[in-house]
Amino acid sequence: MQVDAAMLATELRRRRVGPRSMVEALDGVQRSTWVLGELRHAPTPLLVLAALALIEDSGRGGWATARALHPARGRLRRSRAGGA
């Protein structure tokens, strides 16, 4: 299903997904993305990733915003299996 930023923001607000700044960053974004299946049945983490991708594509922060909101989660970790 193709969803625009406003539809995605509405669904994230309905689910009370935070932080609010991420959802508010979708306001004014004029892009759309694809979500597998119906929007109401899509897993919340998938919707958050879709929102971050739309924000990133619009130049409003995206992954940098996510790292600022959750610094511990934003760090890249080296894989032990990778040998490095």
Taking the C-alpha atoms of residue 39 and residue 47, their distance in angstroms, rounded to an integer, is 8
Taking the C-alpha atoms of residue 7 and residue 49, their distance in angstroms, rounded to an integer, is 15
* Average pLDDT estimate for 26-51: 90
**Of the candidates 34, 42, 38, the residue with the CA atom closest to the CA atom of residue 17:** 42
Q: What is the pTM of this model?
A: 0.66
Q: What is the pLDDT of residue 58?
A: 60
CB atoms within 10 A of CB 17: 17
* Average pLDDT estimate for 36-54: 91
Q: What is the pLDDT of residues 54-66, one digit of tens each?
A: 888 665 554 455 5
Taking the C-alpha atoms of residue 31 and residue 43, their distance in angstroms, rounded to an integer, is 21
